[in-house]
Structure 1
Amino acid sequence: MAIQCSGAVDRGSEASGQEARAGASVPDGSPPARPVPLLTLACGSSVATVYFAQPLLVTLGERFALGSGLLGAIVTVTQLGYAAGLLTLVPLGDLFPQRRLITGQLGLLALALLAAGLAPGVAALLGALAVVGLLAVVAQTMVAAAAALTPAAQRGRAVGTVTGGIITGILLARAAAGVVADLAGWRAVYLASAGVTAVLALLLRRALPPGAPSANRREISYGRLVASTVTLFARHPLLRIRGALALLVFAAFSTLWSGMAQPLSGPPWSLSHTAIGAFGLAGAAGAAAAHVAGRWNDRGLAQRTTGIGLALLALSWFPIALTGQSLWALAIGAVLLDFAVQAVHVTNQTLIHAVRPEAGSRIIGGYMVCYSAGSSLGALGSSLAYATAGWGAVTALGTLFSLAALLLWSTTRGTGLPA
């Protein structure tokens, strides 16, 4: 998810440049005190909504009479909605004022979360979660707003602060959902999130400057913005290769995180929602991987970083396969997997941004569609594999995705690299 932030930063740079041409200058002093912390909190809250369901899958399956083979559909529809939002909503940041866009999407997100919390049947739940995923991409627009509201000399600090909110939201989403579900039931997770989101929308409406689209923005065709993303990937093989790697890597990632609720909820462990969600804190290793990968990439070691990350990803499934015998083995495997995924993720960002820096937001949006497609594939595949042959089949599927990514990298490592 670190990639989202960088794509949004590019958007922020472009947006701030357009605002300057339109006569809306960025202040020369310190960044506004209110918007940046609020944007940080709202980013984390929005991204967290995509991950709430993962520790609740077994409970949702029991409530709505879903077989184990269909539990992955709950995560899949959210990720498909997220992918659709990347293509259809993110480009709106080049057409509308940020305050109107951010507060409008947050208000609609609150309504979608309310609908999920009150869903009377499985069709209503899946429909609401698809809309939740669609609107959660507002996080990218909020990172862009932080960049646009901050003077250039302090922009990195402000964007880093908001980015930290996104990472924190991802890390805490599963744990928070587990705790709230144990205390007040699964519906309370979405109802509480709806209330928080609505309050944040109101606060940001007061804190953000009104703004107005520049003449340049009004001349931009929405259809051309969306179509240009496809054109970029068609023209540059490196974008296609790294997009395919993202699909496979996040398919492996989602295979683990969408599938683990089932074996952990049953014998011999029979863990609570809180305990299952706590495994999400292993994702803290991903933050360390992002820093390490960033330093290696700056030294020109992007290919080595990718190879090491993909090898660790494949190796992580050996301890994960021992989940039935040891929770420590699962924790170790989860740390290795998250570390590997983030290392590859950051490296992908570095390479694809160098292809066309001026089109960074569109490139990142297209890349994140591949990420969402992989997450959907892993979620659905893991539930079907578990229903068919248990946890052994899930680990085999994750290993297959990981080895496919390693094979793809090894056979295309020299293709389309920027000078």
Structure 2
Amino acid sequence: MSKVEVSPSIANDTRGEAVTFDRRLVWLMAVACALAVANLYYIQPMLASMARDFSVSVGQVGVVATMGQVGYACGLLLIIPLGDNYNQRKLIVGMLVAVIIALVAMALAPSILLVTVASFLVGLATVVPQLIIPYAASLAPEKARGQVVGTVMSGLLIGILLARTLSGFIAAQWGWREMYWIAAVMMIVLAVVVRFFLPNDLSAKGSMSYPQLLHSLWDLLREESILREVIIFGSMAFGAFSAFWVTLSFYLETPPYHFGSEVAGLFGLVGVVGALAASLVGKIADRRDPRFANGVSLVITLISFVLMWLAGQWLVGLIIGTILLDLGTQANQVTSQARIYSIRPEARNRMNTVYMFCYFVGGSLGSMLGTFGWGVAKWNGVSLVACAFLVVALVAYAWRTLKLRQYMHA
């Protein structure tokens, strides 16, 4: 069994001695992230089915997905900072119980209004991965932190993508409500596994009050230029990513495709190719300039949308574009999180809170503008919205690069 030693300053047992970090624990965390984050993404291939079920428009059902991401952003802001003050395993188990209740509410909701409320609650409670990732980073030695984060992120990203495949199939065979019943059962099993197999959090905790924790988020944003930069990169990339996935099922129902929700879900399998690169990207970030990796990933993501805009009417163009989209988005995410986990070790959960809150605000905006773009100009509108997000990110990257060069030559 391969293990990585963790220094006493990073993780200690009750006797103050160095402990070892089991690689199997990394994979447990990766699987937990995959199963937990999937709850937020089951809905995307099922939107067309839900719209028919409730007899509502594309714009109305798009709000359901958007509110899920808004709920997730609120959970990041209000819950994740507690990880710097309280036992993380207890927080994780508690949030799993909360998401079980929300999933059951989603499955039982009799109207589009109550589905929207339940979607918000599912998002609010689905913050388990953002408790696990900084916990994994705190256990990992500095020289392997990017690789560990990348491995755990691979699980999270594969969970995002395969959630669409699973929910598309379940919705086509039995209906969208059944997907949420299955998800609730999976979360019950996961809660039991986490309770008994995830190690107890023995790290030193802060003593700030809850209002102080929340107030410190603004201080981190104001003081850390790296954090501000990766927020722009992450939120814009995820906005473009969300605009694509929230409208894909509608695009695949139109000519020349005429596909159902199960095919929209299968595109998640295509994206796994990109997700599998997350661990490799983390390893590269440990050894080379992670900021440069941010820039390359943003360019790849923009190329993916240009390709799908010009060649999306052909299946091969859509498939290649999807692979590039997931590769670019996920490479950017892994690199960004590796960068912020390298600063302020005592505030990793709060750093993650600020970053991921803005990240999902960007995703919510992308979902909203993506459905708006679809309503106005179909696929052309979606592509234009996504490209605009990425141009903003690349302009910010170029401007910051210029400033850094001026500083170095001053």
**1:372 maps to amino acid:** F
How far did 1:362 drift? Answer: 1.8
Q: Which of 231, 241, 266 is the equivalent residue of 2:219?
A: 231
Deviating more after overlay: 96-105 vs 298-307: 298-307
Q: Give yes or no for the alignment of 1:54 onto 2:66.
A: no
Alignment correspondent of 1:118: 108
2:275 aligned with 1:287:
yes
User: Which residue identity lines up with residue 233 of structure 1 in the other structure?
Assistant: L
Q: Is the 8 A contact 2:238 2:362 kept in 1?
A: yes
**1:238-272 Cα distance to aligned partner (Å, 9 max, x none):** 32222122121111111111111101023331212
Aligned to 1:78: 68
Could you tell me how far apart the structure 1 residues matched to 2:372 and 2:87 are?
43
How does the TM-score come out when normalised to structure 1?
A: 0.83
Match of 2:393 among 391, 395, 405: 405
CA 1:62 to 1:109, structure 2 compared with 1: closer, same or farther past 3 Å?
same
Shift in alpha-carbon separation, 1:406–1:194, aligned structure 2, 3 A: same
**Contact preservation (8 Å) 2:75, 2:123:** yes
- Greater displacement, 276-285 / 351-360: 351-360
Q: Measure how far apart 1:168 and its partner are.
A: 2.9
CA contact (8 A) 1:40 1:164 kept: yes
Residues 130-170 of structure 1, C-alpha deviations (whole Å, 9 max, x = no match): 11111111123345666789999999998776554323312
In 1, Cα distance between the equivalents of 2:393 and 2:139?
A: 39
- How far the C-alpha of 1:347 sits from its partner, in A, is 3.0
Matching residue within 300, 307, 315 for 1:312 = 300
Could you tell me whether the CA contact under 8 Å between 1:61 and 1:67 is conserved in 2? yes
RCO higher in 1 or 2 (8 Å CA, sep ≥ 6)?
1
- Report 1:82-231 matches (<5 A): 82-143=72-133, 162-207=152-197, 216-217=205-206, 219-231=207-219
Residue equivalent to 1:388: 376
Q: Could you list the runs of 5+ residues in structure 2 that have no partner in the other structure?
A: 1-5
1:210 to partner: Cα distance: 6.9
Query: Distance between the aligned counterparts of 2:368 and 2:258, measured in 1?
Result: 23
Q: Quick check: 1:42 aligned with 2:32?
A: yes
Larger displacement relative to structure 2 (337-346 or 136-145)? 136-145
Percentage identity across aligned positions? 35
Q: Distance in 2 between matches of 1:213 and 1:298?
A: 24
Could you say if the C-alpha distance between residues 231 and 335 of structure 1 is closer, same or farther in structure 2, counting changes exceeding 3 Å?
Answer: same
The secondary structure found in structure 1 opposite 2:41 is: coil
Shift of 1:127: 1.1
> With structure 2 as the length reference, what TM-score do the two structures score?
0.85
Residues 213 and 64 of structure 1, relative CA distance in 2, 3 Å threshold:
farther
> Which residue of the other structure, out of 251, 261, 267, is the alignment partner of 2:255?
267
344, 349, 356: which one aligns with 2:337: 349
238 and 14 in structure 1: CA distance in 2 versus 1, 3 angstrom threshold: farther
Superposition RMSD in Å: 3.4
How many pairs were matched up? 402
- The answer on whether the counterparts of 1:36 and 1:162 sit within 8 Å (CA) in structure 2 is yes
Q: 1:147 to 1:395 in 2, by over 3 A?
A: closer
